[in-house]
Amino acid sequence: MDIQQIISELREYKGKADGTDLKIMEVCGTHTAAIFRKGIRQLISPKIRLISGPGCPVCVTPTAYIDKCIEYAMKDNHVLLTFGDMMKVPGSKGSLSDMAGQGAHVKLMYSPFEAIELASAHPDTTYVIAAVGFETTVPSYGLVLEEIRRREIQNVRLVTALKTVLPALEYICSNQPDIDGFLMPGHVSVITGSNAFHGLAEKYHKPFVVAGFEAEHILTAIYMIVKQIQHGQGMVENAYPGAVRPEGNPKALAVIDEFFEPGPAMWRGLGIIPDSGLYLKEGDVGRGLDQDRELPEACRCGDVIVGKINPNECPMFGKGCDPGAPYGPCMVSAEGACGIWYRNSRG
Amino acid sequence: MKITMAHGSGGKDSALLMGSIFGKYFANPILDQMDDAAVLETTAFVPGSKLACTTDTFVVTPVVFPGGDIGKLSVCGTVNDLLMMGATPKYLTCGFVLQEGLDVDLLEQVVESMARTAKEAGVLIIAGDTKVVEGNGELYINTTGIGVVPPGREIHAGSCEEGDAIILSGTLGDHHACILGARMGIENPIESDCACLGDITATLHDNGVDVRAMRDVTRGGLATILNEICQSSGLLAMLEEDKIPVTPVVQDFCNLLGLEPFYMGNEGKMIAVVAKKDAKKTLQLMKKTVHGKDAEIIGEMKAGNGVLVRTPLGSTRVLDVLYGEGLPRIC
């Protein structure tokens, strides 16, 4: 179907059968960013509400994890390797960025494979990877572990905060029944496959549509959700078939299985969700890091992540919390819902 | 041979470095005086002309990258800043901070590249300094540039007016993507666009284009510099996304890492804000130059504030300044 025709139908949308707004959650931060970048909200009816979900692994990382990373970074002969997004996330005594100014050894990495070269070049230093991510990133940590094993490298460690999207979706479906459909992340789905969502679609009788990140992909997926709702359906559809296969990427899944096993994980703002974490099968120091600092009453990151409110409805949004001085984690990361809203919706 | 602390001592080893590298490539009658300061004639300046002065420090890694190196960059960056104010660049000074263990051949390569770029840009390197510090064999360069603005030429961001056209000299993001690709070990054919933009500015001035403002599109990218122009001029910049040139390979690179070309740094691109009547003429002139062949009219200045871009599907979005470091996303 022609994209202009899809846009015109979505623009004319009058709401659900009872006249109420259709609520669609985009699970992934990259979708949230793309929706702003492409101006998607302006192209569709205000009766379709796009709600930003938990889709950023940095945003949901608990305080105790940051503290653990700092603990390693402060040790003699240890260097913590981290993605840039993590630098400003507040721990109980400060962020990695604050601590780097106080003697912590923190180095930005662009790929976890950097640890291997560094560790070989400096055998007396232990390189600790702050391994944060969803299913998309986990296989690359697995490949790093494979390489460590192959080359018998002794001086690389992982501190994990790895999470999986499905248990979080289950949590949202059971706690937020008024979300009508889900725009599923293309990146994660490349790994998990679209079949992984069938169970949820059946149990909650809601549309789960996998989408890519171009305007056309997102609009098409929204259109498919609208049509399913109009026909009383609740099933998995793949609007990104070029990249996402029903069975996913078996090789990546095998790497995950080989090195990691599921366990309970703390999602900042949500609490502990069973089986939503991935831990090293042996000796994972990331286990049990479920202490979370109490966020101030005004900070509503928890409500933002589950789609109860839009970021700009939080009383701290732009008032004591902005990308320059973030308070809540959703404002910190480039993929956090609050940060994306702030950067794109002013003016 | 490697750089040692002795090369920064001011003694024999320093003199050796001066003679065999800096003196060899940077030689000119002013520098060759080797006095404590360069003394410049001012009689050559036309009465009513003004001096422009700027400084910049270059710390890029890797030191050598596809399309350039830190030496070329340190000349282009400072020369371009002078050009953007309507100045003709005349002189550069350079300060080198070398880390112990730096390969002398690499230093020579960088210095040779600086000298060649300076010659092409028509500037003389008239003063310099070298220090050696502990480290891992890297180097940093500071350059200060002096240029002359001819009488009557006033180019300021605050001079923009409603209806003015915004013209971009070429594709966005090449330098940023090149450097990031090299750091991350992502194989790609992207080359830095690092270049001095004197050919573009000269043709605009020589042909009497009514230039209101010019900016090189460096750190912070197009979005950030346009926000600065809008703030200075109290206007709004309305851009057309499908007019903004980005090479497919840079676009793919950005998609892969979750980056946006609007926020990516360049080292050989500029925007010119010109009177509406001169828009087409400016575009034609730019397209005839080596560094402006991919130029496009990308938008116009309007009443309001901030930067808006119209997407190909007809929606508009706000382009705010860059927050943070523009790092790649992790998922």
pLDDT beyond 60 at B202: yes
Is position B329 within any domain?
no
Q: Are residues A87 and A126 in the same domain?
A: yes
Q: Are residues B27 and B104 in the same domain?
A: yes
φ, ψ for residue B17, nearest 5 deg: -60, -45
CA nearest neighbour of B143 among B79, B227, B224: B79
Is position B327 within any domain?
no
A13 shares contact with chain B (CB less than 8 Å) = no
Total of domains in chain B: 2
Least Cα separation, residue A248 to chain B (angstroms): 17
User: Between chains, do A111 and B185 touch, taking CB under 8 Å as contact?
Assistant: yes
Q: Are residues A68 and A51 in the same domain?
A: no
Q: Are residues B172 and B140 in the same domain?
A: no
Cα–Cα distance measured from residue B276 to residue B162, given in angstroms and rounded to the nearest whole number: 9
User: Between chains, do A339 and B323 touch, taking CB under 8 Å as contact?
Assistant: yes
Q: Are residues B63 and B173 in the same domain?
A: no
Give B186 or A243, the one with higher predicted confidence.
A243
A234-290, pLDDT tens digit by residue? 999 999 988 999 999 999 999 999 999 999 998 877 788 999 999 999 877 777 776
Give B74 or A90, the one with higher predicted confidence.
B74
A108-149, pLDDT tens digit by residue? 888 899 999 999 999 999 999 999 999 999 999 999 999 999
Q: Are residues A157 and A176 in the same domain?
A: no
Q: Which of B149, B168, B201 is the last residue of a domain?
A: B149
Q: CA B38 → CA A46, A198, B21, B28, B31, distances in Å?
A: 67, 76, 19, 11, 7
Cα–Cα distance measured from residue A269 to residue A330, given in angstroms and rounded to the nearest whole number: 10
CB–CB of B179/B64 below 8 Å? no
* Strand-pair category, A271-280 with A260-267: antiparallel
To 10 degrees, the CA torsion angle through A132, A134, A136, A141?
Answer: 40
Is position A116 within any domain?
yes
**pLDDT score recorded for residue B169:** 98
Q: Are residues A157 and A169 in the same domain?
A: no
Cα–Cα distance measured from residue B82 to residue A149, given in angstroms and rounded to the nearest whole number: 54
Is position A186 within any domain?
yes
Q: Are residues B276 and B167 in the same domain?
A: yes
Sequence-distant (≥ 6) Cβ neighbours of residue A277 within 8 angstroms: A160, A161, A162, A163, A164, A262, A263, A264, A265, A286
Q: Are residues B123 and B161 in the same domain?
A: no
* Strand-pair category, B235-240 with B139-149: unpaired
Instruction: Name chain B contacts of A39, Cβ cutoff 8 Å.
Output: 311, 313, 315-317
Assembly ipTM: 0.75
- pLDDT, mean of residues B226-231: 96
Q: Structure tokens of B170?
A: 């070429």
User: Between chains, do B331 and A56 touch, taking CB under 8 Å as contact?
Assistant: yes
* Strand-pair category, A22-28 with A126-133: unpaired
Q: Are residues A179 and A324 in the same domain?
A: no
**pLDDT score recorded for residue B96:** 97
Q: Are residues B119 and B194 in the same domain?
A: no
**pLDDT score recorded for residue A291:** 64
pLDDT beyond 50 at B214: yes
Q: Which residue pairs, CB below 8 angstroms and at least 24 apart, start in A265-268? A: A265/A161, A265/A163, A265/A290, A266/A62, A266/A64, A266/A290, A266/A291, A266/A292, A267/A54, A267/A60, A267/A62, A267/A163, A267/A168, A267/A305, A268/A59, A268/A60, A268/A61, A268/A62, A268/A63, A268/A292, A268/A301, A268/A302, A268/A329
Cα–Cα distance measured from residue B316 to residue B294, given in angstroms and rounded to the nearest whole number: 24
Q: Are residues B141 and B115 in the same domain?
A: yes
**pLDDT score recorded for residue A292:** 62
Is position A252 within any domain?
no
What is the chain A residue with the closest CA to B312?
Answer: A38
CA nearest neighbour of A78 among A67, A86, A90, A70: A70
Cα–Cα distance measured from residue A265 to residue B225, given in angstroms and rounded to the nearest whole number: 42
Q: Which of B120, B149, B178 is the last residue of a domain?
A: B149
Q: Are residues A52 and A177 in the same domain?
A: yes
Least Cα separation, residue B306 to chain A (angstroms): 6
Q: Are residues B161 and B145 in the same domain?
A: no
Please report how the helices A138-150 and A250-259 are oriented relative to each other, as an axis angle in degrees rounded to 10. Answer: 60
pLDDT beyond 50 at A347: no
Q: Are residues A67 and A141 in the same domain?
A: yes
pLDDT beyond 90 at B82: yes
pLDDT beyond 70 at B328: no
Q: Which A residues in the span 20-79 are in contact with B, Cβ-Cβ below 8 Å?
A: 28-30, 33, 36-43, 56-58
Lowest mean pLDDT of A27-41, A53-67, A118-132, B122-136, name the range: A53-67
To 10 degrees, the CA torsion angle through B3, B37, B45, B273?
Answer: 40
| CATH number, residue B122 | 3.30.1330.10
**pLDDT score recorded for residue A13:** 96
Q: Are residues B194 and B254 in the same domain?
A: yes
Is position A244 within any domain?
no
Q: Are residues A84 and A219 in the same domain?
A: no
Q: Are residues A95 and A154 in the same domain?
A: yes
Instruction: Name chain A contacts of B329, Cβ cutoff 8 Å.
Output: 29-30, 85, 334-335
Instruction: Name chain A contacts of B317, Cβ cutoff 8 Å.
Output: 36-39, 344
Q: Are residues B137 and B214 in the same domain?
A: no
Chain B residues at the A interface, defined by Cβ less than 8 Å, are 180, 183-185, 255, 258, 260, 305-308, 311-318, 320, 323-325, 327-331
Cα–Cα distance measured from residue B193 to residue B76, given in angstroms and rounded to the nearest whole number: 11
In the three-class reduction of DSSP (H, G, I as helix; E, B as strand; rest coil), residue B38 is classed as coil
Instruction: Name chain B contacts of A84, Cβ cutoff 8 Å.
Output: 324-325, 327-328
| CATH number, residue A111 | 3.40.50.11740
Is position A288 within any domain?
no
Total of domains in chain A: 3
**Count of A–B CB contacts within 8 Å?**
91
**pLDDT score recorded for residue A290:** 67
**pLDDT score recorded for residue A207:** 98
CA nearest neighbour of B65 among B195, B218, B190: B190
Q: Are residues B215 and B253 in the same domain?
A: yes
Q: Are residues A130 and A274 in the same domain?
A: yes
A161-216, pLDDT tens digit by residue? 999 999 999 999 998 888 999 999 998 999 999 999 999 999 999 999 999 999 99
Q: Structure tokens of A4?
A: 């202009």
Model-level pTM?
A: 0.85
Q: What rounded mean pLDDT belongs to chain A? A: 90
Provide the percentage of residues in chain A whose pLDDT is more than 90. 62
- Expressed as residue numbers, the domain containing A206 is 3-57+165-238
Provide the percentage of residues in chain B whose pLDDT is more than 90. 78
In the three-class reduction of DSSP (H, G, I as helix; E, B as strand; rest coil), residue B209 is classed as coil
CB–CB of B321/B220 below 8 Å? yes
Q: Are residues A199 and A181 in the same domain?
A: yes
Q: Which of A218, A238, A258 is the last residue of a domain?
A: A238
Q: Are residues B122 and B174 in the same domain?
A: no
- Expressed as residue numbers, the domain containing B203 is 157-318
Is position B110 within any domain?
yes
Give A296 or B26, the one with higher predicted confidence.
B26
| CATH number, residue B208 | 3.90.650.10
Cα–Cα distance measured from residue B254 to residue B177, given in angstroms and rounded to the nearest whole number: 8
DSSP per residue over B129-171, as a string?
EEEEESSSS-EEEEEEEEEEEPTT----GGG--TT-EEEE-S-
A137 shares contact with chain B (CB less than 8 Å) = yes
Is position B325 within any domain?
no
Buried b / exposed e over B97-122, threshold 16 CB at 10 Å, is: bbebebebebbbbbbbbbbebbebbe
Is position B330 within any domain?
no
Q: Which of B117, B149, B181 is the last residue of a domain?
A: B149
CA nearest neighbour of A58 among A37, A82, A93, A34: A82
Q: Are residues A314 and A224 in the same domain?
A: no
Sequence-distant (≥ 6) Cβ neighbours of residue A270 within 8 angstroms: A54, A60, A168, A171, A302, A305, A306
A112 preceded by cis ω (within 30°)? no
